[in-house]
Amino acid sequence: MEAPRDNHGGVRPFRIEIAQPVLDDLRARLALTRWPDEVEGAGWAYGANREYLQRLIAYWQRGYDWRAQETKLNAFPQFKARVDDIDLHFIHIVGKGPAPKPLLLTHGWPDSFYRFVKLIPRLTAPAGFGGRAEDAFTVVVPDIPGFGFSDRPIKPGIDTVSTADMFARLMTEVLGYQRFLAHGGDFGASITEQLGLHHADLLPAIHLNNVPPQHAQKVRPQGLSPVEQTYLATVKAWGEQEGAFTALQNSKPQTLSYGLNDSPVGLLAWIIEKFHGWSDINGQLESVFTKDELLTNVMIYWVTQTAGSSARFYYEKAHRTDVTEQSYVTVPGASPVLQRILFPRRGNSLRGTLMSSDGWNCPMGGTSPPLKFPMIWPSSCGHSLRHIGKLPVRLNDHEGVRLGHQAPTDTSRAP
């Protein structure tokens, strides 16, 4: 396996190897679950549905195999590097092509690097998926501090701005890339936005899974079209119905962390309810995600004890006081127009609240689209970055694109 370039001698290979007592403790806690009651016929209206959780936890206890998932995850070349006193965990894969372009992929909440595991092979080796070798990318997929296998910060101040600075240093000072493309969703979109704001000289173009919704919340409705006014009203209504998690994690994440760090069922319910409510699933969560995918995503939070530290990331972002409200990203950027997502399609002038952007229509949407739709998602990144950045490299219009070391080749299901 080819090691990544390391300009500072601090890159170390990393493997996921969870100690057996951690898994034994999890099994014991699941067996001792004390279930709450539930309103008859509530479904998911009051939150996570008890009947579904009980079925999923029965599989967690008797059918789910963490060691098998661990082996699949370890097929991706993983590393750690010290940046600004934080050990960052990241995947680094060199593209299989004549001149692969470096591409930084940043996840959000409630996920981790796992968001991209089905997308990575399509980006790093597009020729294996009906694409062209010259469309390959070299991919770097870090865990945000406080998420996954990166360090859990215990000092204040680690937020989207400081994380963008860390990722810029990771890409340039540690890995030696002079310039790189960047994509992000959820918190990853905010971090990518900050990269474009503070490190524009490093970025030919950026691509966002979503425009951070706080921009729409700051737009005044005067002078907007009816479509745009409807969008703003929908964002407000969604926040009132679904935004309690944000208010809690923005304000009192430590209180929440005691329950999530101690109860695997509580952690599962907190995350699964979001996947159900935010995904394009037609009411059937497992029509898009497998049980193994849902549980592996939660397991990464459980075995790393990052439920609390990931919630604190909300607090740090919400309490940063030196953000310039009138800042404007000048790096060419794009965000797909997801036809089925949390909010309806926005109007053109709202796009201008963030950056000069290009649109790309996607027939589906929801949370973690790279995990759900790996055959479609590269087209969004590819079309947009190729067009807006007028780059000499194409990001593949077909089913895939890829990123670079050697990636696992079987991506029919996520690890």
CA distance 294 to 274: 11
Q: Could you report the per-residue pLDDT of 297-345, keeping only the tens digit for each?
A: 999 999 999 999 999 999 999 998 765 555 678 888 877 655 444 444 4
For residue 168, pLDDT over 80 is answered with: yes
In which element (H, E) is residue 227 found? helix 226-242
What pLDDT score does 371 carry?
60
Q: Mind giving me the DSSP string for 350-363?
A: HHTTTEEEEEEEES
CA distance 313 to 253: 9
**pTM to 2 decimal places:** 0.85
Model confidence at 4, pLDDT cuts 50, 70, 90, reads low
Between 8 and 215, the higher pLDDT residue: 215
Q: Could you report the per-residue pLDDT of 224-276, keeping only the tens digit for each?
A: 888 888 878 887 888 888 888 999 999 999 999 999 999 999 999 999 999 99
Give me the numbers of helices (H) and strands (E) for the chain, helices first please. 16, 9
Q: What angle do CA 364, 359, 340 make, to 5 degrees?
A: 20
Read off the DSSP letter of residue 243.
T
What pLDDT score does 412 carry?
34
For residue 362, pLDDT over 80 is answered with: no
What pLDDT score does 231 carry?
78
For residue 80, pLDDT over 60 is answered with: yes
Q: Could you report the per-residue pLDDT of 39-63, keeping only the tens digit for each?
A: 999 999 999 999 999 999 999 999 9
Q: Could you report the per-residue pLDDT of 21-45, keeping only the tens digit for each?
A: 999 999 999 999 999 999 999 999 9
Which stretch of 121-130, 302-311, 388-397 has the lowest confidence by average pLDDT? 388-397
Model confidence at 5, pLDDT cuts 50, 70, 90, reads low
CA distance 351 to 373: 24
Show the domains of the chain with their CATH numbers. 12-321+331-389 (3.40.50.1820)
The total number of residues written for the chain in this structure = 415
For residue 105, pLDDT over 90 is answered with: yes
Look at the block and give the residue holding tokens 């770097």: 140
CA distances from 31 to 195, 203, 264, 292, 358 (A): 45, 50, 11, 19, 50
Between 107 and 220, the higher pLDDT residue: 107
Task: Determine whether 268 is exposed, middle or buried from the number of CB atoms within 10 Å of its CB (0-12, 13-18, 19+).
Answer: buried
What pLDDT score does 360 carry?
43
